[in-house]
Chains A and B, each alone.
Chain A
Amino acid sequence: MSQSYDRGLIEDFGRWKEFSAGMWAWVLHKFSGWVLIGYLFTHIAVLSTATVDGATYTNTLQGLEELVVVRFLEVGLLAVAVFHILNGLRLLFVDLGIGLESQDRSFYASLVLTAAIVVASVPTFLEGVF
């Protein structure tokens, strides 16, 4: 019987500023998961050149690797993958009921660790680009 009022945006994701750790973790985990599965499809597509012949495969791969964009995308992929793995581990622990009290800290830890790993591997990834 409610004479309800639609508060529209205030209601739904308009409140993102007030999101807490767990919510961000969820958003980012989703995002990273989708990127990864998307990448898996692309990846197999690219590797499919191997079915043509060895040279095409080598050319394609090396050709791609020469593109700066691809190199940067790879760093992004790494970030996404590392975060998904770390937060995935966090989620696995949460599922086992371990360390629930420090769930927010473990989320921040995954972020920090992801950043650290990404920064640390930039030299390797971007080697030879510039």
Chain B
Amino acid sequence: MSTQVTEQEQEEQETVEEAVEQTEAVGAARAAQVDYGFMEEKAEQEVRDAETTVKLKVFRYDPEVAGKKEPRFDTFTVPFHKGMTVLDALMYARDHYDSSLTFRHSCRQAVCGSDALFVNGRQRLGCKTQLADLDDSEGPPGTVTIEPLPHSDVVKDLVVDMQHFYDQMEAVEPYFQTDEYPKGELEEQRQTRENREKIKMSTRCIWCSACMSSCNIAAGDNEYLGPAAINKAYRFAMDEREGEAQKQRRLEIIEQEHGVWRCQTQFSCTEVCPKDIPLTEHIQELKREAVKSNLKFW
């Protein structure tokens, strides 16, 4: 979604802000005096002792805090150790220098999809990106630039609004539906190994939105389903357990105005997907399936 704020949105925003005031949100207090004493000293010591350090240049923005209303970049120096990821570095900076540094994260192992960030000009998962790999030569790079995902509304610092992405995902009826289940107690539906293999990659999506953020088409067309949602549709359309009638229905969904035909095979989605899902391939296959099924009826 583009971050161009329309007037209407701005208005909505204001009313929301008012509403917040009415319900007595907590916060927007003065900034408390917080003593990082111990942690900061520790960090200084560690930075001094470290053989190598990394500079993080991090995008900062907060709609209601003076000094952050205008976005800026803050720089944090972090001691580097082998195996350190971008997320590790961010957490270090937050815990030792500025606890208001805000970003989403949870699993630290590339399964929760919460920390897709724009690192050195590319969409990546913070936890899955080794600092050492950001440099062509061996060893950590001097400065790492970290920004929120492009083409998304920034909520604060590195946190972006994911609602639009969720809406697109949910628009493709992302749930299994069939009318026929095998009779008999404890009977599973049968699925061939080949078929499971076919949908395997498509089922790996962790909803991180990196693909959506990287796609120029999605940036320009707010209603475009986007690669992740189309991939989700693929996951079900190709699952033989759902049956032919369902597949037709799914093809109708992805053929809608802002569906597969919007994709211009730019491949950036495939390039950034942290789960290595061949998104463009899946989109293209759906286009062909759609054409095939249309010709069948013709």
User: Which A residues are within 8 Å of any B CB, using their own CB?
Assistant: 1-8, 10-12, 15, 17-18, 20-23, 25-26, 91, 94-97, 100, 103-104
Contacts and interface: CB of A to CB of B under 8 A. Distances in A.
15 contacts: A2-B155, A3-B13, A3-B17, A4-B154, A6-B4, A7-B154, A11-B2, A20-B266, A21-B267, A22-B268, A26-B264, A26-B265, A94-B280, A95-B284, A95-B288
Interface in B91-125: 121-122
B267 A4 contact: no
A4 B281 contact: no
Contacts of B266: 20, 22-23, 25-26
Given A3-B16, A22-B267, 7 more contacts: A10-B147, A15-B150, A21-B267, A26-B266, A94-B284, A95-B287, A100-B280
Given A22-B267, A23-B216, A23-B268, A10 B150 contact: yes
A11 B3 contact: yes
B142 interface: no
Contacts of B264: 26
A4 B17 CA distance: 12
Nearest to B220: A12
Interface of B: 2-5, 9, 13, 16-17, 61, 63-64, 71, 121-122, 147, 150-151, 153-156, 161, 163, 216, 219, 264-268, 270-271, 278, 280-281, 284-285, 287-288
A20 B267 contact: yes
B295 to A, nearest CB: 15
A11 B155 contact: no
A11 B284 contact: no
Given A3-B64, A5-B63, A97-B288, A22 B265 contact: yes
Nearest to B64: A3
A67 to B, nearest CB: 37
Nearest to A30: B264
Given A12-B219, A20-B267, A5 B61 contact: yes
A3 B63 CA distance: 6
A12 B2 contact: yes
Contacts of B64: 3
Nearest to B13: A3
Contacts of A20: 266-268, 271
Contact of B267 (A6, A10, A95, A104): A104
A84 to B, nearest CB: 15
A103 B264 CA distance: 13
Contacts of B150: 7, 10-11, 15
Contacts of A10: 147, 150
Nearest to A24: B266
Residue among A8, A11, A91 with most chain B CB within 10 A: A11
Contact of A97 (B4, B16, B151, B281): B281
Given A18-B121, A94-B280, A97-B285, A7 B265 contact: no
Contacts of A25: 266
Given A1-B16, A11-B150, A23-B216, A100 B2 contact: no
Contacts of B284: 94-95, 97, 100
A61 B18 CA distance: 71
Given A22-B265, A26-B266, A94-B280, A4 B288 contact: no
B1 to A, nearest CB: 9
Contacts of A21: 267
B155 A4 contact: yes
A2 B20 CA distance: 12
Nearest to B163: A2
Given A20-B267, A21-B267, A104-B267, A3 B155 contact: yes
Contacts of B271: 20, 22
